[in-house]
Structure 1
Amino acid sequence: MITVIVPFCILLAIILIKKIPYIGGNIQVALLITGLTALLMGGIYNPISWLTAWVNGIDRIAWVMALTIFGSIYAETQVKMGTMDTVLNVMRAWFGHSPKGLITVIIFSLCLAGSLLGDAVAASTVIGVLIIKSLDEMGLSGEHIACTIVMGASLGSIMPPVTQSIFLAASLVGIDPTPVTNLGYITVGIGIVICCLYVAFTFVKIKSLPEDLIPKQKAGAILKENWKVLIPLMVLVFIILLRLIFKIDVITLAFGPILTVLKDIKILKGLTNLIVASLIVVTIISCLYPKVRNELGGTLWTGIKNVKGSIYIQGSAGLMLGAFYAAGQIEAVKNFAMGLNANLLKIGGAASLNLIGMLTGSQSTAQNSIFAFFGPALVELGIDPVHAAIAGSHIAASGQGMPPADLTCFVVCGLVGGILGKKVDPLKTMILNLPMCLYLFAVGFLFMFI
């Protein structure tokens, strides 16, 4: 485990100790040095092997990078069209007199989107971009805005009915997911309430919105006047829900041959992610609007420029991620868990499951690599399979949201920074996100003992 602990400590030290000459506080440098350290400690000294690991790491998160780029371009088209202003004004008309009420509704909206989409990044991109300016005008910092969006979308992605983590955990212990999802409504529901209280009383400092920010029109009148600008957003939601509910994949039906070719090409296969492809489609639809079409070049360039820094960070994270796989850090965590005796299995297995989620930024990777044997082992110890599945899904989701590799956080920070034109620190956002992660871990840990 020393090969895991040392790189992780180096990463945190460089990022947190800003007095380190030249590199202190530089996230990109921290990620690159961490990756190189992991490779060297894993006995990989050939620069060609380093490059291969880097490419493989970027390939693993190519869809996240693609989502960041096209999500930003899509967001920029919505700014030009006035979609964000319409959504913002409707929300202000409904809830504008209570900042705490407004931010609570925003979190619930993100949770609803996440529970329907089953994906935190998708919910953050589809809904999150529409409320960033609203939160900014409430006086929240970039990190507070990003944390609010990440919390809402992440909890929503775990919340049934569409919940990847719970379905996967149930399948790994070999049970019907229905009783697990029924418990999930309760555990995640409590988490949503806790996060609403945390955000409302920690991030929101104003008692009411200025009168000039509250539209004089009713919400219905605003929608009646501006419904046309919501068409691309509605098309995006329709495409996604059509696939999830009726299993009709419009994107694959329309662009199947192109997607098939791209899936075999490293890094470019990130474009085959169905959320990314859907964003590209609705961005093209948005380009039909005169306000976007007449300034198309500037809109595209602004969208890309806005997330340039985030893409650099994600590219650097690709080296770290690829190094962890190539140099054996992921395998070391697996072996650590497998070598534990029965008395330490619960604690060590939970720690390993959480750590894999932290290192990869993926609850599915954590579950497939650790819970695949940890889950059945818990059942062998006499734990109710339903409780074991709750434990696995919640602990893995907890690790996914913790530093240093929360992919949702990287995407959202890029979008927030791009739209507001300011630097948003992903690590600080992940730290602000810890109350949600600790709650999920506590729930999962508790269910191993009841």
Structure 2
Amino acid sequence: MSMLSVLIPIALLFVIILCKKIPKIGGNIHAALVISGLAALLLGGVYNPITWLVSWVDGVDRIAWVMMLSIFGTIYAETQISMGTMDTVLTLSRATFGKSPKGLLVAIMISLALAGSLLGDAIAVSTVVGVLIVKPLYDMGLKPEEISATVVMGALLGSVCPPISGAIFQACGLVGASTDEASMYAYVTVGLAIAFSCVYASFAFVKIKSLPPELIPEKKAGQIFREGWITLLPMGVLILIVILRSGPWAIDIIADLYAPFINLIADIPIVQGFTNIILLAVFSVTVLSFLSAKVRKRGVVDIVKTGIHNVLPCTGVQLAAGFMLGAFYASGVIETIEQFAMTLNIHVLKLGGAAAMALVGMLTGSQTTAQSAIFTFLGPALISSGLDPAKVASAGAQIATAGQAMPPADLCTFVVAGLVGGILGVKVDSVKSMIRSFPGFFVLFLGGIALLYI
């Protein structure tokens, strides 16, 4: 396959995504992915529609577990919202760390990051926890844009941190890397970005020396825990499962529990996505959550319906990405790129690819789009150059997320800025908010780059 046959589908992908003035399809990520895939198939000499369908099934099969995890993850998030888990986490953090203005802001960011890492959805965390913290931060003297930046840094950085990270799961699915290994690297680099963001925000945004009396927690952490421990139970079980299977003891409770089910469906295309251990762990704690009276009162139907409604846009992109991914493999695009990558200077490939992915994230405001558009071929190219797949996947997830959060089009910031403006009754400048949060996400970007060099 010639390089021209590779470049044309990629060029079409970029043009359709970035040129929003194209009639009907301009700026439409679904159309861009499908048209790019079709172009790759035709230029690769694959003309049989049956083969197209088979390649689509193959592409979706490669990321099936990511799609299923997205669906079950949003349903799990809805159960935690109903239980009041995030309220308990925030109150505990405030009682533990929030005795001073800087301490309160750090407590809020830690709560947001923890919620993001356990729900995997920055927008859900921003809206649920954000409602609780906007007024306290405003009373501390933070400007609306600083409040928005604080919420976005905490929630979005948390959402890319394991154990539940849609960005890392997607990256691993695209390159076939181990989620456990990729997550271990992310704990370090994303953890550093969160720590930096806490320090940065507390010194850059907080100007007062002491807290107003109404913001000082009345209850001690122990009392809060005793009153709300039941809301933390599913989250605690999920953390325990992750620790046991990733620690030196290597006890995989979920794999043992679901072994017969895993063996039954392991060879069935797409359905085998249900064999992913993290997905099964999330499913298990979701079932556990339905033992809560608050969750049962809301009802299974409403929770599942809301969760699926929230994840449908993401699932649509994943289906289109599956078509393009399968088409790229069937037509030989991936193989050609891998061979070409071996002739490039490795530093050009690393830095140029990272810059391209961050740029797409910046212009589209979506790490999902950045990964689908760039990492689909960049990831395999980096791996063919001798890099560790787990490091490549973790780096790709972080670079794409960092790009998303940078000005001028971050979707999460648009949502949060609107939320802050609505609560305070003021206009919030979204781009200024992105500029305020830029340092935290630049550190995340650097962490991703570092993984490509160590």
TM-score (ref. length: structure 1):
0.66
Matched residues in 2 for 1:37 and 1:69: separation?
A: 30
Aligned residue among 53, 72, 87 for 1:51: 53
Q: Which moved more, 1:356-365 or 1:318-327?
A: 356-365
Matched residues in 1 for 2:386 and 2:125: separation?
A: 40
Matched residues in 1 for 2:287 and 2:186: separation?
A: 38
- Which letter maps to 1:14? I
With over 3 angstroms needed to count, the CA separation of the structure-2 counterparts of 1:218 and 1:185, relative to structure 1, is: closer
Say if 2:120 is the partner of 1:125: yes
Aligned pairs (5 A) from 1:285-296: 285-294=288-297, 295-296=299-300
Asked if the contact 2:117/2:161 (under 8 Å) is kept, the reply is no
Matched residues in 2 for 1:322 and 1:230: separation?
A: 41
Say if 2:255 is the partner of 1:252: yes
Asked if the contact 2:59/2:324 (under 8 Å) is kept, the reply is yes
Q: Which moved more, 1:143-152 or 1:67-76?
A: 143-152
With over 3 angstroms needed to count, the CA separation of the structure-2 counterparts of 1:337 and 1:223, relative to structure 1, is: same
With over 3 angstroms needed to count, the CA separation of the structure-2 counterparts of 1:359 and 1:229, relative to structure 1, is: closer
Aligned to 1:283: 286
With over 3 angstroms needed to count, the CA separation of the structure-2 counterparts of 1:214 and 1:328, relative to structure 1, is: farther
Matched residues in 1 for 2:321 and 2:211: separation?
A: 39
Partner of 2:120, secondary structure, is: helix
CA deviation vs aligned residue, 1:17-45 (integer Å, no higher than 9, x gap): 22222222222222222222222222222
Aligned to 1:426: none
Aligned to 1:170: none
Matched residues in 2 for 1:186 and 1:226: separation?
A: 30
Partner of 2:90, secondary structure, is: helix
RMSD: 5.1
- Which letter maps to 1:302? T
**Cα deviation, residue 253, structure 1:** 1.5
Matched residues in 2 for 1:44 and 1:103: separation?
A: 56
Aligned pairs (5 A) from 1:170-185: none
Matched residues in 2 for 1:42 and 1:201: separation?
A: 55
**Cα deviation, residue 257, structure 1:** 0.6
Say if 2:7 is the partner of 1:5: yes
Structure 2: gaps (5+ residues): 135-143, 164-170, 172-180, 359-369, 405-410, 420-433
Aligned to 1:322: 326
With over 3 angstroms needed to count, the CA separation of the structure-2 counterparts of 1:87 and 1:191, relative to structure 1, is: closer
Aligned to 2:341: 337
Asked if the contact 1:356/1:365 (under 8 Å) is kept, the reply is no
Aligned to 1:118: none
TM-score (ref. length: structure 2):
0.66
Aligned to 1:15: 17
With over 3 angstroms needed to count, the CA separation of the structure-2 counterparts of 1:214 and 1:80, relative to structure 1, is: farther
Aligned to 2:363: none
Aligned residue among 297, 304, 326 for 1:300: 304
- Which letter maps to 2:268? I
Aligned pairs (5 A) from 1:360-399: 370-371=382-383, 374=386, 397-399=394-396
CA deviation vs aligned residue, 1:310-330 (integer Å, no higher than 9, x gap): 111111111122122222221
Asked if the contact 2:97/2:106 (under 8 Å) is kept, the reply is no
Percent of aligned positions with the same letter in both sequences? 38
**Cα deviation, residue 400, structure 1:** 4.2
**Cα deviation, residue 228, structure 1:** 0.9
Matched residues in 1 for 2:200 and 2:13: separation?
A: 28
CA deviation vs aligned residue, 1:226-272 (integer Å, no higher than 9, x gap): 11111111111111211122211111222201111121111111111
Aligned to 2:265: 262
